[in-house]
Amino acid sequence: MANRRHSSRHVKRLRTYNVREAAKATGSTPGTVRHWHKSGLEGVAGVYPLIFRGVDIIAFLKRRDDDRKRPCGPGRMYCFRCKVPKRPAFGEVEFWPDGPKLGTLRGLCPDCAATMNKRASLAKLLAATGDLTVSMRCAESRLIGTPKPSSNSHSERG
């Protein structure tokens, strides 16, 4: 089953939700909400059936999101197919600059061979790549704004 992403976007902080309502507001199922309850989503104390405060649901989902988004450490890139940070295949990445200071690191997932991208600034390149081998790539640089000096030596004759 796909790991569907649940959103707290439609959850109102000041509302309370029973299991069914919480499921609806987050785009999940009552079973999932009960599972959340077991894994840390607190219900209103002493009330049964379960009632959740919107603010708790939002905080719970945010916590889960943060866990998922934890930054990849040095030398790691996030594979969107495997959904985990990985060390790129062969310990190699390419850096493709797309501006004077910014660029994209590109590596291959060792397990599924998907391309993993990571935005990085030149200044933080070392921190982002750790002990990986980085090959610098030059974006096809068309020298815009540096016209050749005019070599127009012949003049038009009438």
Give the interface with Zn ion as residue ranges (CB under 5 A). 79, 81-82, 109, 111-112, 114
CB of 83 to Zn ion, least distance (A): 8
Of the pair 105, 109, the CB lying nearest Zn ion is at: 109
State how far the Cα of 122 lies from the Cα of 101, in Å rounded to an integer. 5
Report in angstroms the alpha-carbon separations of 88 from 92, 95, 115, 126, 128: 6, 13, 9, 15, 12
Burial class (CB in 10 A: 0-12, 13-18, 19+), 96: middle
Measured from the CB of residue 48, what is the shortest distance to Zn ion in angstroms? 43
Q: Report the residue number, 33 or 79, with the smaller CB distance to Zn ion.
A: 79
Taking the least distance from each CB to Zn ion, the nearer of 63 and 81 is: 81
- Residue 80 CB, shortest distance to Zn ion, in Å, is 8
